[in-house]
Amino acid sequence: MHHRSWLALALTLSFGGCDRGEETPTEVATTETSEEASVEPEAPAIPGAGPIDESWVATRVAEARDRMQASEAGDLVWQSIETHGGLAQWLSPGTIAFEFDYRPVSAPERRMHTTQKIDLWRARAVHEELDGGAGEQATFGWDGERAWIAPNAEAFPSPARFWSLTPYYFVGMPFVVADPGTQYELMEPAELDGETYRLVKVSYEDGTGDSPDDYYILYIHPESYELAALRYVVAYPGFFPEGGHTPEKLMRYTDYQRVGELQIAGTLDTYAWNPPADGEPGSVGDKVTEVSVTNVTMGDEWDGDVFAPVDGAQVSTEIEANPR
């Protein structure tokens, strides 16, 4: 899979002072003795995560709508976002939690089964491995600046920095492709499972996130605007330090579930993609991964230290090379 999720950091840059819409306390002038002045100040609290003030959300939604509706391709994606519940309904809760069960068909020993908590506005994440996963009951995450994992880096089949936000990005389609730095290109319609869909290629401006060479091709129903599938590549530089990316795969979005006002897919099964050849269009190949998304909640409030490294965790700020 990929690591496109880091472009959500653009939200933090755009609204860097946001702490769930809370006002900054007014500074009060005080008189202190020299003894009082020598006391070291307490370390600032780590910002928590939870529902976002309506004014922050309205500003973010207006920016995305204006930017996306400036092109036919962007407007098509915007209509899909509206069909699935709307960007405001996605951003307002501020957090999402869910269980993600990723089961490679030909490599069951690489099953990745975690429950995860995501801060939608600061791009922070924490995972706890569940029974049946391939690791050693690992806990790992991204605190906005550092990746960390416990008990050690070998406890989970995928690098912590890559996997911390990867599942959320797929679960959050199509909402997440409203992020700043995203580019939209209209492609020729294509058939899938007997239905003709409108296609939009989503790519990223240089310097957007860890992996700006990732791309996605969204299959959007021409009448309902529901997202039916997407094709994607992984260009994460930890896997491809010399450039390049994986072959395209196709992920079907099915078993939609209602979460508040949103429609979120409950099954994200993934297939090999056979590229066009000898005048024939591309086609779906064998299933390679079964993915289920369950127990989805939004708007939970958490203290900021939920995302901090646990005692004994291995911590890293680097994209560690793990070539494929």
Taking 50 as the pLDDT cut, the residues of the chain under it are 1-44, 208-211, 324
Model pLDDT, residue 196: 97
Model pLDDT, residue 234: 77
Is 73 strand, coil or helix?
Answer: helix
Q: Following DSSP, what letter does each residue of 202-251 receive, concatenated? A: EEE-TTSSS-TT-EEEEEE-TTT--EEEEEEE---TTT-TTS--PPPEEE
pTM for this model (two decimals): 0.83
Quote the CA–CA distance of 268 and 255 in Å, as a whole number. 9
Reported as a single tens digit per residue, the pLDDT across 203-261 is: 987 654 444 567 899 999 999 999 999 999 876 555 555 555 578 999 999 999 999 99
Is 284 strand, coil or helix?
Answer: strand
In terms of Cα–Cα distance, which of 132, 63, 126 is closest to 98? 126
157 burial level (CB within 10 Å; 0-12, 13-18, 19+): middle
Model pLDDT, residue 17: 34
Backbone φ and ψ for 232, nearest 5 degrees, come out as -155, 160
Domains within the chain, CATH numbers bracketed: 4-9+48-312 (2.50.20)
Quote the CA–CA distance of 266 and 269 in Å, as a whole number. 10
